[in-house]
Amino acid sequence: MLRALIITTVLAAAALLAPTGSANAAAKWCAVYDSGSTNCGFNTYKQCRADISGIGGFCRKNYYH
Protein backbone atom coordinates (compact mmCIF):
# COMPACT_ATOMS: atom_id res chain seq x y z
CA MET A 1 0.00 0.00 0.00
CA LEU A 2 2.75 2.44 0.96
CA ARG A 3 4.74 1.49 -2.14
CA ALA A 4 1.78 2.31 -4.41
CA LEU A 5 1.33 5.67 -2.68
CA ILE A 6 4.99 6.56 -3.18
CA ILE A 7 4.91 5.58 -6.86
CA THR A 8 1.73 7.58 -7.41
CA THR A 9 3.23 10.63 -5.69
CA VAL A 10 6.41 10.45 -7.77
CA LEU A 11 4.45 10.10 -11.02
CA ALA A 12 2.16 12.99 -10.11
CA ALA A 13 5.14 15.22 -9.29
CA ALA A 14 6.82 14.32 -12.58
CA ALA A 15 3.65 15.16 -14.51
CA LEU A 16 3.37 18.55 -12.81
CA LEU A 17 7.01 19.46 -13.45
CA ALA A 18 7.17 18.29 -17.08
CA PRO A 19 7.01 21.01 -19.74
CA THR A 20 3.70 21.10 -21.58
CA GLY A 21 5.08 21.90 -25.03
CA SER A 22 2.05 24.05 -25.69
CA ALA A 23 2.32 26.40 -28.66
CA ASN A 24 0.53 29.06 -26.64
CA ALA A 25 3.25 29.10 -24.01
CA ALA A 26 5.44 31.13 -26.37
CA ALA A 27 2.66 33.24 -27.86
CA LYS A 28 3.69 36.87 -28.12
CA TRP A 29 0.47 38.62 -29.18
CA CYS A 30 -3.08 38.84 -27.83
CA ALA A 31 -6.19 39.76 -29.76
CA VAL A 32 -8.63 41.79 -27.67
CA TYR A 33 -12.02 41.60 -29.36
CA ASP A 34 -14.76 44.24 -29.27
CA SER A 35 -16.86 41.74 -27.31
CA GLY A 36 -14.32 41.96 -24.48
CA SER A 37 -12.85 38.49 -24.86
CA THR A 38 -9.14 37.88 -25.39
CA ASN A 39 -7.10 35.30 -27.30
CA CYS A 40 -3.35 35.21 -26.57
CA GLY A 41 -2.48 32.43 -29.00
CA PHE A 42 -0.63 34.37 -31.70
CA ASN A 43 3.07 34.19 -32.39
CA THR A 44 3.16 37.17 -34.74
CA TYR A 45 1.45 40.53 -34.95
CA LYS A 46 0.37 39.67 -38.51
CA GLN A 47 -1.48 36.54 -37.29
CA CYS A 48 -3.26 38.60 -34.65
CA ARG A 49 -4.27 41.33 -37.11
CA ALA A 50 -5.60 38.71 -39.54
CA ASP A 51 -7.74 37.20 -36.79
CA ILE A 52 -9.45 40.47 -35.79
CA SER A 53 -9.87 41.61 -39.39
CA GLY A 54 -13.55 42.19 -40.07
CA ILE A 55 -14.73 41.44 -36.52
CA GLY A 56 -13.17 44.33 -34.63
CA GLY A 57 -10.69 44.59 -31.85
CA PHE A 58 -7.01 45.30 -31.41
CA CYS A 59 -3.73 43.46 -30.81
CA ARG A 60 -1.47 43.89 -27.83
CA LYS A 61 1.74 42.27 -26.64
CA ASN A 62 1.38 39.22 -24.41
CA TYR A 63 3.31 40.26 -21.32
CA TYR A 64 2.73 36.92 -19.59
CA HIS A 65 4.67 34.60 -21.94
In the chain, which ranges are E strands?
29-33, 38-42, 57-61
Which pLDDT score is estimated for 10?
52
Of 47 and 3, the structure prediction assigns the larger pLDDT to 47
Which pLDDT score is estimated for 48?
97
Which pLDDT score is estimated for 31?
97
Instruction: Say if pTM beats, i.e. exceeds, 0.85.
Output: no
Which pLDDT score is estimated for 18?
46
Q: Residues near 4 by Cβ (< 8 Å), separated by ≥ 6?
A: none
29: three-class secondary structure by DSSP:
strand
- Alpha-carbon torsion 34, 40, 44, 50, what sign? negative
